[in-house]
Structure 1
């Protein structure tokens, strides 16, 4: 009779599936982040039509998107054509002005003849709802154009607006919105002045990071409830030290929530649909585990009765 060969232990397919899913999620996050780094580019729209040789470029370099205060902060720089520059290439050969509204700072940026061209830091109101994080978006309307002269002699020159899409964690897009109320006078007559619409949305990598972190946060109470219910039903031994682990998980929720990119304010939809129920699940798991400890924990041994005092000897005081 031949001895049976020992069976080879098969690797559980669940482990293989878990490793593949983790690798896939990791690859997606890395590709989204790398794609966001490569998407930095300039988008230009022409607000005042005209000859390309006379085109003035207004560069908008965004500094930040302040979602809580609904503000788009940017640096405004004017790049005139060679026809409006001295031979040195950095001073104006005549007075050039840039009108921009609505902004929180000065709406007119003026460079006198012979003055070096500079830039101005501005901020504009961006309409949006931060409580919709990470799917919130913000829209800012901006009207701007360059002109020469002043007063009745003011002549608008061909102007284009270029937005640099390089704010970390955000994607910015520009488009022109026709306006019936605004018009400017050019060398060829009066023309309508459209509004530049800037739309800021969170990048795909930021959205994926936030959703993944929320998903991991939702796994914590599931694990705690599994341990607590197993201990209460008697399938696993009750260990009092696990109450410290459950308590640590409970106090880790708020730091994890504050680690979300963009720091969504308290009261966002994630608090009502995720964070609140994570805390409820952890408190429920802690309660069940305390009941299991009270049910299956080692009972305290009864105290031995105190020995009776020895009788006093005769003749002793």
Structure 2
């Protein structure tokens, strides 16, 4: 079989490396573009064209999975004869009637400037202990009443939390804008969490191989190796706490990788120390038993 010249083989290897790097970068850009498009997507309900209406702009600012709620930032703008100075204030007291998952109705006094309001919304289904595969649901419903009379509503909803991907079902029911929101971890969070789990297992296996080498070769107390093992043991805990969304201890991430990796590394470290102490205490037996 004819072999390629060394120079051509190196060029081929360099070309393959560059191709792999370019492919990984292209996939990363494609994934980032998809997430950016999802964050820029606007969901609309209550597409009324009436001049006298209430426009509602809402965005999901933050999803608190541990507290089982999301924070919705709401801006209300009365249009036509319902508002003054281009919608800065309502001509009469304006009340937004919300669904049970939203913490109370919103009331804006007549002739008073309307400001943005952060509204907590309760999440249903899902559990944060399923991290990073946890998913949640939320139901939003906004209707408007001004002067004891219902008024048309047009609402726009966006998602500004980059840690979660939102799938929204928007429609109108009985003059109110209704949104059914399904929330799950974004692609970037999933990729990073899976990488964390793979890295934890890889480090644990590396420590296991190092411990096996030290014990079978009767190396005794090799302090640089012991320092590396101990540093890995504590570094994994800090690495685990960098998980996006700060999941609590006891999540799926821990039971799949972290707890087992920590246990394996601690076991290897203790075993190497015990066996090393025996060999350091009886060096003659160690030398007689070595080949």
Q: TM-score higher than 0.5 here? A: yes
Over 3 Å counting, the alpha-carbon distance change for 1:220 and 1:24 in structure 2 is farther
In structure 2, the residue matched to 1:117 is 114
1:42 CA drift (Å): 4.4
Q: TM-score, normalised on structure 1?
A: 0.73
Q: Distance in 1 between matches of 2:171 and 2:118?
A: 24
In structure 2, the residue matched to 1:157 is 151
Over 3 Å counting, the alpha-carbon distance change for 1:255 and 1:173 in structure 2 is same
Superposed CA RMSD in Å reads 3.5
- Assess if the C-alpha contact under 8 Å between 1:139 and 1:200 holds in 2: yes
1:51 CA drift (Å): 3.5
Q: Which has the larger radius of gyration?
A: 1
Q: TM-score, normalised on structure 2?
A: 0.79
In structure 1, the residue matched to 2:252 is 269
Please list, as runs of the form range in 1=range in 2, the aligned pairs for 1:1-317 lying within 5 A after superposition.
Answer: 28-29=27-28, 31-33=30-32, 35-47=34-46, 50-86=48-84, 89-102=87-100, 105-112=103-110, 114-127=111-124, 128-150=126-148, 154=149, 156-176=150-170, 191=174, 193=176, 195-234=178-217, 239-290=222-273, 292-294=275-277
Q: Distance in 2 between matches of 1:163 and 1:100?
A: 15
The number of equivalent residue pairs is: 277
SS in 2 for 1:73: strand
Over 3 Å counting, the alpha-carbon distance change for 1:103 and 1:226 in structure 2 is same
Q: Distance in 2 between matches of 1:266 and 1:117?
A: 42
- Assess if the C-alpha contact under 8 Å between 1:137 and 1:199 holds in 2: yes
Q: Distance in 2 between matches of 1:33 and 1:217?
A: 25
SS in 2 for 1:241: helix
Q: Which runs of 5+ in 2 are unaligned?
A: 285-291
Over 3 Å counting, the alpha-carbon distance change for 1:22 and 1:236 in structure 2 is farther
Q: Distance in 2 between matches of 1:21 and 1:58?
A: 47
Over 3 Å counting, the alpha-carbon distance change for 1:55 and 1:69 in structure 2 is same
Q: Which runs of 5+ in 1 are unaligned?
A: 1-6, 180-190, 302-317
Q: Distance in 1 between matches of 2:129 and 2:281?
A: 49
- Assess if the C-alpha contact under 8 Å between 1:29 and 1:205 holds in 2: no
1:102 CA drift (Å): 2.3
